[in-house]
Amino acid sequence: MEVNLLLHTREDHAGVAITDIKAGEKIYGLFMDDHTAIELNAAEDIPLGHKLAVRPVLAGEHIVLYGRSAGQATQSIQAGDHVHIHNMKSLRWV
């Protein structure tokens, strides 16, 4: 098993792709705070360095990245979805 997604804390909603990920690919993630592993399938292509949701987030909910609230979902996001400016608004600009 090759890890291709890193998450900082168990509270994170999404992790960082450490390789390019293709739609339908099985993803192996690792929570860095407690070394827990996670497996899921990518719903779409995720470029290196972009975020992939590991759990559902409803529209309007805050998205936790790196152990902190980093943005708000502008639409519902499912596990395996690409998390980016098309479905998340940064809290930095609110």
pLDDT tens, position by position, 45-94: 999 999 999 999 999 999 999 999 999 999 999 999 999 999 999 887 65
Q: Say whether pTM exceeds 0.85.
A: yes
Say how many domains are in the chain. 1
Encoded tokens for 42: 């990518």
More confident residue, 91 or 16: 16
Interatomic CA distance for residues 91 and 70, integer angstroms: 6
Residue 40: CATH number of its domain: 2.30.130.110
* Domain boundaries, position 43: 5-93
Interatomic CA distance for residues 14 and 88, integer angstroms: 12
pLDDT tens, position by position, 22-52: 999 999 999 999 999 999 999 999 999 999 9
Contact 72, 19 (CB under 8 A): no
Contact 81, 55 (CB under 8 A): no
